[in-house]
Amino acid sequence: MTTFRSRVHYINKKVYDLYDKPKEGDVYIIVNKAWDGWVKIGMAVDAEDRLNSYQTSSPLRDYVLLHKVFFSDRRTAEAEAHLLADTVAEERRGEWFKMSSYDAVKVLSKVDNQQIDVVKKMTKAFNPK
């Protein structure tokens, strides 16, 4: 049985690694009325798929995908969104920010795909591989 479980774990890890490999994807805002005034700013290859995984942890299936934006480099975009949200939010707990949904959407709209590409090109100039 342990051999079977270790094989399943190995296969799951490989599938996740392949799924998580692409740099492009969505930066999203998810809310849940159970935590009024809090928004989650996160990233995923596919925001709807991420929302579905959140729903499995809620018997009410009450998470809502408020907004999403596709980026060529989702990790960099998420990091920038978190920095911007820090300047607006009253409080932060990991990827959850105590701020209005309106402010969260404004924050995400300030993250610029073209700017991220410029930063990536500049970084490569200093760290060629």
The tokens for 13 are 């890890």
16, part of any domain: no
73, part of any domain: yes
Total of domains in the chain: 1
Pair type for strands 38-44 and 63-71: unpaired
103, part of any domain: yes
Provide the pLDDT for residue 129: 53
- Which residues lie below 8 Å from residue 81, measured CB to CB, with a gap of 6+? 27, 41, 107, 108, 111
- The amino acid occupying position 20 is D
2, part of any domain: no
Q: How many CB atoms lie within 10 A of CB 61?
A: 12
17, part of any domain: no
Q: Which of 33, 30, 16, 52 is nearest to 108 (CA)?
A: 30
What residues of the chain score a pLDDT lower than 50? none
Provide the pLDDT for residue 112: 75
Looking at the chain, how many residues does it have? 129
86, part of any domain: yes
5, part of any domain: no
105, part of any domain: yes
pLDDT in tens, 20-38: 567 899 999 999 999 999 9
51: burial class by Cβ within 10 Å (0-12, 13-18, 19+)? middle
DSSP state of 90: S
Provide the pLDDT for residue 65: 97
C-alpha span between 20 and 126 (Å, rounded): 26
- The amino acid occupying position 81 is A
Residue ranges making up the domain that contains 114: 22-126
Provide the pLDDT for residue 11: 66
